[in-house]
Amino acid sequence: MERTTSNKVVPIRTTPKGFEVCIMKPTTFEDSQDICDMLLSGRAAVINLEGFDVDLAQRIMDFISGSVYAMNGKLHQISSYIFIISPDTVDISGDYLDLIRSDGFEVPTLNKEF
């Protein structure tokens, strides 16, 4: 009689293979398409627009937020010029807005009417 063994150890938490969060600091408006392509491929991104002209930063976020909406993704503002975008398969959670506000940061710099 042949004895079979089975592996009964199952990991409780696993990270999806290939899951990636990209940190981006675009230099031109054209970089916003690359950011949206990352979202389309299932990757999340942190977008840093610090040091940008406010009008250019607004154009970039308008393009990105439209793409996020069209892909059913998520967009979270971390600070005045830092955002996180993620596909619909990735949840972002935490009390980061409460932490930011308690440290004295003021969030409303860009027009957030996405």
Domains defined for the chain, CATH in brackets? 21-102 (3.30.110.150)
Distance of CA 85 to the CA centre of its chain: 2
Q: Is the pTM of this model over 0.95?
A: no
User: In sequence order, what DSSP letters do the residues of 25-65 get, joined into one string?
Assistant: --SSTTHHHHHHHHHHTT-EEEEE-TTS-HHHHHHHHHHHH
CA 73, chain centre distance (Å): 9
Please report how many Cα atoms fall inside a 13 Å half-sphere around the Cα of residue 64, on the Cβ side.
Answer: 34
User: What are the pLDDT tens digits along the chain (114 aa)?
Assistant: 555 555 555 555 555 555 778 899 998 999 999 999 999 998 999 999 999 888 999 999 999 999 999 999 999 988 888 999 999 888 777 766 565 555 544 444 555 554
